[in-house]
Structure 1
Amino acid sequence: MLCSLRGPGAGTAQAPAQSSLPRCSPRGAPLAASAASANSPPHQRRCQPAAASARAGPAAPLPLGRLSPRPAAPARCPLRRLLGPMARPAHADDAARAAPAAEHYDYAVVGGGPAGLLAAKALMAVAPGRSVKVLEAAPGYRPQGAGVLIGVNGWRALHAVDSELAESVRARGILIAGSIYLDEQGRPLPFQTPPEDHAAEERAHGHTKVMVHWGDIREALHRALPEGTVSFRTRVVGLEPGEPGGRPAVLTLEEPGSGDGDGDGPQRRRITAGLVVATDGFYSRTKRLAMGASGPPLLPTYRGKVIWRALVDYEDMAQVPELLREAGERGQCVWWLAGGQPPERTALVYPINGGRFVWTCVAPAADVEAAGLPPWSPHRGDSDLGIQQTGQEGADPRSRVLAVFRSHPAPLIDLLGRTQAGAVTEHGYCTHDTEAIRGAPDWVTGNVVVLGDAAHTGPPDGMGLNMAWEDVAELGGALRRHGPTREALAAYAAARLPRVHAIWGEPGLTKPRRVAAVHAAAFEPLGPGSSGRHRTAPPPEQQQQGQQGEEGGEGEEGGEGRSGVEVPEGAAKGTAPPPAGPEGAEGRAPRAVAVGVAAGGAERRREEQ
């Protein structure tokens, strides 16, 4: 049985007590309650056996699909149904608005998503005792985001940071068996692929792909940090990069006023930081402030499409349309595809844990106007191109997606209609030009380094978060070797540029270089909580195979398609390929070919350990 985020205090206005968290379990099961900080000696003593077990080998098997009985949920706060998915401060002092005259941090992370939170955890691992602060503009964390298919490379990066955290994230996921491909009228398409062989992949590579909801990932990462690490409602509005080894970076922060009357509007203050790690998304404000970026190639290009996403929780599974219920029981994704290569429009539904479904719809922006609505533009009033979060019933994003997909089959319309307006995210389809990315000139300036989508926004093909976590692990390793120096930032950029080109720079439907690069991902353990090399790197022979792939040699047969899903052989030969999915490759198709590494790899790694 998987862990559910419906734990004590979830969705309430009060921060959940640390004592209620299943922090120490290598398999996601709660251990004895602890009120101590994650860094306190009592907590470490309780965690050591669990963490050692987590580092010892692969975790317990995950269930296939998600329509198993839900874990018993505690009583909900009576205000929940009134307040809906309102933001919650996750720790009691996260929302404190103390403003000292002078405030300095060794590391300031801008952006409190999964990349920024893992970056904070990695910085604490490589620089124990140094001060780390995460600056997040949102008022708190609310249910949002798509599912993320964490792959071999993502798991290795996560284990390089902290093994216990990796097992906590894994326990919140499910295994996806494959996909059902339908046309826009609901008729089966000719390419239907065999189920995913998760056991074979885990034997060969030490990990397998696991679907975890983006919000669940963020929750697990946030709870793994000491209280007060994240400052919510804190927006960076000014940035002087400084110089490594010289002047620190100076950040101007904007925060809400106290609301006590005079001067209760937004307040500004300055802090300094030895190193600023920017993980604030594809239209990074930090990057614009530090580098003067105003358009491509530093910023991504809008590709003329709109992406909508939302999470839907069916309280009564009898209400779930039969197609979706049966697919959920089998652990399958359901796609509705328009014509074209890649398809002009796509709709995707897939299960996650705890009796929930995620849907993602992608369509040309012109379809919005064709549906009789005003023309759509990615630009908001403040010129940001970031995700647009709605906040009331019948809000525009849900109205638009319902209008564009109004002629689709009933199961999809039922799902869209049940979605709370406040749960819908809407944003433009934007990507960087991979060939134009230069590495350090685009990612490093002074004491500022850029990670994740801010550095390299790829297509929504499943690699975004995996590559962001690779960034974190590589930066952590560089800082561990060189300290917060110019040499460390140069080493980080030099290591990451070939990986970006290997993952996103390969044309065509089949991508052998990408497959080889994913399986060749290797990272050094960053601290005492990290897993050993058997969980953070491939066997030696596989590392050699990955190096050949990055040099343009042959990888495994089949490979991953333009969309990042692994394309069945029939699709590669001319039938319509699976489409580009949302962040996290929720609709990644199952493998159509055998894993090409000896199944004895897992036993060999255990012997080495």
Structure 2
Amino acid sequence: MKRISIIGAGPGGLTCARILQRHGVAVTVHDRDPGRAARNQGGTLDLHADDGQVALREAGLLDEFFRLSRPEGQEMRRYTISGDLRDHHVPAPGDRFKPEIDRGVLRDLLLDSLEPGTVHWGHALATTDGRTLRFKDGTTAETDLVIGADGAFSRVRPVLSPATPQYTGVSFLEAWFDDVENRHPELSALVGQGGAHAADGTRGLFAQRNGGGQIRVYLIRRSPAAVTGLSTATIRAGLLDEFAGWAPSLRRLVSENDGPYVDRPIHALPVPHTWAPHPCVTLLGDAAHLMPPLGVGVNLAMLDAADLALALAGAGTIEEGLRAYEAVMLPRSAAIAKTLDGRADDLIAA
């Protein structure tokens, strides 16, 4: 039996594992986290009917996704920096084109669908040549196929490509607000059940409703450097100065957060990002085609995962499966990446 190893237990890697197992193909997932509850998985995701939901259907999990998701999260509000509501989209009853789901909820759905022992936690990959996996704890594992689903700074990618992610010049500062109905009711009303956006051409703000009574806010700015090492008070004072001309209601989303700010600089891979065929290594998701976060990331990763799993399950050999997958994935991702190339500034467009 061929040994298939997926590096990374994110949505793409787990979706690939689930679909492989549904087709009777054995697979192991290696992840650097010490366990499934080791860290917060982040904010909320909208899974689209024409890609993310396609993958969940192949995984046999679409009905459960609809049970757990929030279709009301498709609501979108756009404000002027003066605080006036400029545009308001409310989803129609029964609209399930791109409902929201928290990252942690989606990950649990996928993890719980896998056979026990599929995920090997605490396995941070150091290097691989495509046959031997060398982990940071000094252990090794032999494999017949390595699938890099390990994100922007993939440890698998160097086997295929010298490309490295480059900073786009735009950075997100993430802030969050807990128990918003009780602690921040005015901000809860401002954001609504989905997302709220405002921008002035130099900086932007995107607030997004999460499950569990939380709102996450992303302050989007052109920034030459990270803010790592600065105190919360110092960052807050600088932000209030930057957003000085904005309405008080929007400035509260900048400054009244519960806890610290988290810096998330936006990187992208060169366009197009391709590689020569390899007999036992491939990539999916951000490891293959990191792009600015303009609504395609997780959906494309999960579609990659479904295409790869089905290609492997239906092929006579691993290499035949990889070639069939890459013949679809590489042109698709190159076309999308070309469309989004250089558009990180769209995130702060007024």
Give the TM-score normalised by the residue count of structure 1: 0.51
Q: Which amino acid aligns with 1:322?
A: E
Contact 1:334 1:350 in 2 (8 A): yes
Q: What residue identity is the alignment partner of 2:197? A: W
Of 308, 331, 334, which residue of structure 1 is paired with 2:173?
A: 308
State the distance in 1 between where 2:40 and 2:48 align. 23
Q: CA deviation at 1:405?
A: 2.7
Matches within 5 A, 1:401-480: 402-406=236-240, 407=243, 409-410=248-249, 413=252, 417-421=256-260, 425-434=262-271, 436-438=272-274, 440-441=275-276, 444-480=277-313
Q: Is the 8 A contact 2:15 2:55 kept in 1?
A: no
Segments of 4+ moved more than 6 angstroms: none
Task: State how far apart, in whole Å, the 1-side matches of 2:329 and 2:161 are.
Answer: 22
2:124 counterpart (202, 226, 235):
235
- Structure 2 gaps of 5+ residues are none
Alpha-carbon distance in 2 for matches of 1:450, 1:493: 9
1:337 corresponds to 2:171: no
Alignment of 1:77-92 (within 5 A): none
Cα deviation, residue 310, structure 1: 4.7
Give the Å deviation of 1:452. 0.3
Sort the Cα spacing of 1:312 and 1:193 in 2 relative to 1 into closer, same or farther, 3 A.
Answer: closer
Q: Distance in 2 between matches of 1:195 and 1:115?
A: 29
SS at match of 2:111: helix
Cα gap change, 1:215 to 1:195, in 2 (>3 Å): same
Higher strand proportion, which one? Answer: 2
Residue number in structure 1 paired with 2:141 = 271
Q: What percent identity do the matched residue pairs reach?
A: 23
Within 2, Cα distance between the matches of 1:280 and 1:215?
17
Structure 1 residue 502: Cα displacement = 4.1
Report the residue type matching 1:161 in the other structure.
A
User: Within 5 A, what are the aligned runs for 1:44-443?
Assistant: 106-128=3-25, 130=26, 132-140=27-35, 141=37, 142-152=39-49, 153-162=51-60, 165-175=61-71, 176-189=73-86, 192-197=87-92, 199=94, 207-241=96-130, 249-255=131-137, 268-288=138-158, 290-291=159-160, 293=162, 298-314=163-179, 317-325=181-189, 327-328=191-192, 331-339=193-201, 344-366=202-224, 375-376=225-226, 396=230, 398=232, 402-406=236-240, 407=243, 409-410=248-249, 413=252, 417-421=256-260, 425-434=262-271, 436-438=272-274, 440-441=275-276
5+ residue gaps in structure 1? 1-103, 242-248, 256-267, 367-374, 378-387, 389-394, 509-561, 564-577, 582-609
Cα distance, 1:376 vs. partner? 2.6
Residues 499, 169 of structure 1: CA spacing in aligned structure 2 closer, same or farther, 3 A cutoff?
Answer: same
**Cα distance, 1:218 vs. partner?**
1.4
Change (3 A) 1:278 1:233: same
Alpha-carbon separation, structure 2, partners of 1:135 and 1:334: 36
Q: Taking structure 2 as the reference length, what is the TM-score of the superposition?
A: 0.85
C-alpha contact (below 8 Å) 2:44/2:102 kept by paired residues: yes
**Between Structure 1 and Structure 2, how many residues are aligned?**
338
What per-residue deviation string (whole Å, max 9, x for no partner) do you get for residues 370-408 of structure 1? xxxxx438xxxxxxxxxx9xxxxxx74856753453235
SS at match of 2:314: helix
User: What RMSD, in angstroms, separates the aligned Cα atoms of the two structures?
Assistant: 2.9
Q: Flag the structure with more relative contact order, 1 or 2, with Cα contacts below 8 A and sequence separation at least 6.
A: 2
Q: Tell me by how many angstroms 1:579 deviates.
A: 4.4
- Highest Rg: 1 or 2? 1
CA distance 1:224–1:312, shift in 2 (3 Å): farther
Contact 2:127 2:155 in 1 (8 A): no
Q: 1:479 to 1:411 in 2, by over 3 A?
A: same
1:138-191 deviation digits (Å, cap 9, x = unpaired): 2233223222111112101211122xx2333332221235322223443444xx
| C-alpha distance 232-173 of structure 1, shift in aligned 2 (>3 A) | same
Q: CA deviation at 1:137?
A: 1.1
Which deviates further from its counterpart, 404-413 or 279-288? 404-413
